[in-house]
Amino acid sequence: MVIGGKSIQPGQRCYVDLPLPPLYTHTSVAMPVHVIHGKQPGPVLFVTAAIHGDEINGIEIIRRLLATKSLSRLAGTLIAVPVVNVYGFVSQSRYLPDRRDLNRSFPGSETGSMAARLANTLMSEIVAKCTHGIDLHTAAEGRANFPQIRVDLDSHPELLPLAEAFAPPILVDSTTRDGTLRGAAGNLPLLLYEAGEALRFDDLAIRAGLKGVLNVMRHLKMLPANKSGERRGKPWLANNSAWMRAPQSGILRSRIRLGGIVEEGGVLGYISDPFGESEQAVISDASGVLIGITKLPLVHEGEALYHVATTESTKSAARAVHDFHLEYEQPVMKRLKY
């Protein structure tokens, strides 16, 4: 295994700095990469976080992953990149200094924009050397996402067992956007994990993400199976989703929590003008699960407020969400051991 010109031998664990374009202050910048090369052969899995520089939950997931004791028995190779967009992370921004979105710039090029060059570095030095990948994200600033895995099952039906192994409460079957890491990965099996909000640590989302990554590694036989043989709830598969938008401008008061079950025609919240002279309900035009929500109470007419993964019957969705909360909202002393 060679990354950044550095050779990592079987049984070796090392840290590699991938050089990136320096700042205009002549300050050096590097992408941190942690490589654990197992003694036994096996899959090569990359785990990336902070492609958007303000999405920091994934950084903590990777920190906890690298501290997991069972990695001493790793078969194959784990390549962890806790901060892909170093520039955005330093400035606490989603974007790069040129205001480009890195996750719309893949696969990139050696001679393109700053975003294109950074994307090319990740693709050539990391992704091209792997057999599987997991990309960790949160919602954009001012929004929050319920833990979910996004996959494009129309293009990659073979991803379903891998996504189910991660064991999120919800699988969202969504088409792949051009310019994303998921799109540039091509036929390489890649899971996209979404949970929490930007610039905030969400402990539930972090614990669920960590366990999900370890579940995938066990599924790929990179780690030994759990001796306890624990049973996991089956994720609910959503084939579509829709945003409910503000019918008027004003101050929003939500009446449903993230992960809540939504019924068509149900009230999601109320929008009032600042003086209380007018008020209008936000009505859902679909049934399903609330997988995304705005965290800002000040809204404009037409603004996306509630993201609903839709279904004709909410029974199986409610069961999956209930099982998830039952597993993760336990007393601290009863939390799962890794």
Per-residue H/E/C for the chain: CEECCEECCCCCEEEEEEEECCCCCCCCEEEEEEEEECCEEEEEEEEECCCCCCCCHHHHHHHHHHCCHHHHHCEEEEEEECCCCHHHHHCCCCCCCCCCCHHHCCCCCCCCCHHHHHHHHHHHHCHHHCCEEEEEECCCCCEEEEEEEEECCCCCHHHHHHHHHHCCCEEEECCCCCCCHHHHCCCCCEEEEEEEECCCCCHHHHHHHHHHHHHHHHHCCCCCCCCCCCCCCCCEEECCEEEEECCCCEEEEECCCCCCEECCCCEEEEEECCCCCCEEEEECCCCEEEEEEECCCEECCCCEEEEEEECCCCHHHHHHHHHHHHHHCCCHHHCCCC
Predicted pLDDT of residue 332: 45
Euclidean distance between CA atoms 321 and 259, whole angstroms: 7
**Cα 100 from chain centre:** 20
**What single-letter amino acid sits at 191?**
L
What are the residues facing 15 on neighbouring strands? 34
Check if the beta carbon of residue 50 is closer than 8 Å to that of residue 196. Answer: no
pLDDT, tens digit, for every residue of 201-229?
Answer: 999 999 999 999 999 999 999 999 987 66
The low-confidence residues of the chain, meaning pLDDT below 70, are 228-232, 330-338
- What is the DSSP pairing of strand 143-151 with strand 170-173? parallel
**What single-letter amino acid sits at 242?**
A
Residue in the structure block whose two tokens are 């004791």? 69
pTM of the predicted model as reported, rounded to 2 decimal places: 0.95
Structure tokens at 249: 């401008």
Residues 6+ apart with CB under 8 A from 24: none
Q: Which of 229, 213, 231, 209 is nearest to 74 (CA)?
A: 213
Q: How many CB atoms lie within 10 A of CB 90?
A: 14
Predicted pLDDT of residue 93: 97
pLDDT, tens digit, for every residue of 67-92?
Answer: 999 999 999 999 999 999 999 999 99
Euclidean distance between CA atoms 76 and 40, whole angstroms: 6
Euclidean distance between CA atoms 103 and 176, whole angstroms: 12
Predicted pLDDT of residue 328: 85
**What single-letter amino acid sits at 72?**
S
Euclidean distance between CA atoms 279 and 276, whole angstroms: 7
Predicted pLDDT of residue 231: 61
> Crossing angle for the helix pair 203-219 and 315-328, nearest 10 degrees?
100
Nearest-5° Cα angle at 151, 94 to 149:
65
**What single-letter amino acid sits at 198?**
A
Residue in the structure block whose two tokens are 């990179």? 222
